[in-house]
Amino acid sequence: MTVAMAEGLRRQILDEARAAHPAECCGLLEGAREGGRFRVIALHPARNLSTDPHRFEIDPRERIAAQKRAREQGTRVIGCYHSHPNGQALPSIADRAGAGEDDFLWLIAGGESLNAFVYSRGVFTGADWVTSSE
């Protein structure tokens, strides 16, 4: 699996993570999946509804709005992103418990790192970054 995303979007996620600290930032990823490649073209920052600073919960109304905007663009919501303010950019126990949508891209920010994973059939698998000029 590979992920293509413009550098500006990567920086935006890291900026959101710093701004949300000590809580987790979160949002949705708009784009397309073409075979084993995810192409992220837009971010939809979301309000974190979780009262636990070590978890995230995207407002369902914001997810519906992002899905509608994506449909209007001929794309779809292909994943989510969030931060681990005091942890590593790896899926946590809470992430594993909360994941449920197969073939869904997860971007996790920790420190200055942003890592990509695809959740499918109960497992997070690391994905590689490819250069994107979008």
75-109 burial string, b = 16+ CB within 10 Å, else e? bebbbbbbbbbeeebebbeebeebbeeeebbbbbb
The CATH code of the domain that includes 66 is 3.40.140.10
Please tell me the total count of domains within the chain. 1
Above 70 in pLDDT, residue 134? no
Which tens digits make up the pLDDT trace of 9-31?
999 999 999 999 999 999 999 99
pLDDT, mean over the chain: 93
Which tens digits make up the pLDDT trace of 33-57?
998 899 999 999 999 999 988 889 9
The whole domain housing 38 covers: 2-130
Q: Are 111 and 14 in contact (CB under 8 A)?
A: no
